Structure 1
Amino acid sequence: MPLMDSTTCTSIRNGNSIAFWKQQWIEAGLVLEDFLTSNLDDDERDAPVSQLILPSGEWNWELLNGKLPDEILPLIAGTDIPKADMGNDKTIWGLESDGRFRLKSAYKLAVEELYEVVGNNWKKLWKWKGPCRINTSFGWPSMRSCLQTKKEHA
């Protein structure tokens, strides 16, 4: 589900179940694999976030050197470093500040995706003074992009 993928991300805790390069863990919609500036072998590509942490508890910048553009590195640096005692990683809802899924924000997202309404077109349609038959046969369907063409009608 691409729409859901763009609105969820992973809350990093111990970093054991999050693929560093393949999953959204810095922010919703950001997958580090999309920004690679050099090739990775299969083991590197599947590495969990926890494998890029030094025993001292800091990011292993040496492993990242030359693999990502400079503008991405501060995003990683600004992320909480995973720790073994923080529990398991979990998926969070990116449309709420607390990360909890709420039907209200999911509904709003779905409506925005389905009916990309621009400007005041809906208001104009409600206020239109023309014949009702034209409005219901043409106006409303055109706003929802579901007018039947001659080809579809046949």
Structure 2
Amino acid sequence: MSSHVNKLTKEELRCSNASRLWKGLSGIWGVIKDGLCWSVQDGTATDFWNDYWLDGEGKLASMCAADSHTMPATVASMVAANGGWNWNQLCQWLPADALAATAAIKPPRPDAGADVPGWRWENNRTFSVRSAYKALTADTTTPLVPISTDNTNCWSRIWKLQVQQRVRVFLWLVLHQRIMTNVERKRRHLAISDVCASCQSEAETIIHVLRDCP
């Protein structure tokens, strides 16, 4: 079942006599599928490069140091003969933070059962309309973060502001330190320097962009 969920396409979900709800889900299946994260068990249903399965990390295809991600690979295929991670391969492809995140997860085992899908925008991995709506309305170029119960009051205050939806989402991302500044780009190994491109004098943090940059 887990493997089937991961391979479903919009076309497979469509049928002429489906309910309006089902037709609506098929229309946004790409967004729903992108919201899936995987708890790795036997590792056979989880795409090593293109699925979300490492806590705190994005898709590994966006941060690997080689073209190996163009070849299909499951998480199970990255296990060595001794049952541990195949570090000889992984150290050639992944940056240090991704290697550390991988080391924190037990390698999949054939007898561990099927990989389990969850909803990555909630800490408890359970789907909610609130987080799905946020995923649909947010700027897709800006990374989202899971909603925490500690931040519920903050989000509620932002939600009540009489401004455009994109402004609410932007404020929420600012308060959660999720704006893609040069500091964040460098942390993700997407840039060499974290210096502000405008003033060329300080690191481009969120507070620098919004307040301190001359």
TM-score bin (small chain)? 0.5 to 0.7
Matched residue, 1:7 = 35
Structure 2: gaps of 5 or more residues: 1-27, 140-156, 167-214
Bigger RCO (CA 8 Å, 6+ sep) = 1
Q: Do the aligned residues in 1 keep the contact of 2:64 with 2:93 (CA within 8 Å)?
A: yes
Matched residue, 2:117 = 91
The structure-2 alpha-carbon separation of the partners of 1:99 and 1:41, relative to structure 1 and needing over 3 Å to count, comes to closer
Deviations 1:44-73 (A, max 9, x none): x21111111123221110011221112211
- Superposed, 1:62-81 pairs within 5 Å as 62-81=88-107
C-alpha distance in 2, partners of 1:103/1:144? 16
Question: What is the identity percentage for the equivalent residue pairs of Structure 1 and Structure 2?
Answer: 24
Question: Greater CA deviation, 22-31 or 69-78?
Answer: 22-31
Q: How far is 1:100 from its partner?
A: 2.1
Length, aligned pairs only:
122
SS at match of 1:27: coil
Tell me which stretches of 4 or more aligned residues in structure 1 moved more than 4 Å: 117-121, 142-145
Q: Do the aligned residues in 1 keep the contact of 2:84 with 2:107 (CA within 8 Å)?
A: yes
C-alpha distance in 2, partners of 1:19/1:110? 22
Deviations 1:86-105 (A, max 9, x none): 21112201233332223354
C-alpha distance in 1, partners of 2:42/2:101? 18
Q: Which amino acid aligns with 1:25?
A: W
Q: Which amino acid aligns with 2:52?
A: Q
- Please point out which of 7, 13, 16 is paired with 2:44: 16
C-alpha distance in 2, partners of 1:34/1:111? 21
Q: Which amino acid aligns with 2:59?
A: V
SS at match of 1:86: coil
Q: Which structure is larger by alpha-carbon Rg, 1 or 2? A: 1
Q: Which amino acid aligns with 2:38?
A: T
Q: Do the aligned residues in 1 keep the contact of 2:119 with 2:126 (CA within 8 Å)?
A: yes
Q: How far is 1:9 from its partner?
A: 0.8
SS at match of 1:66: helix
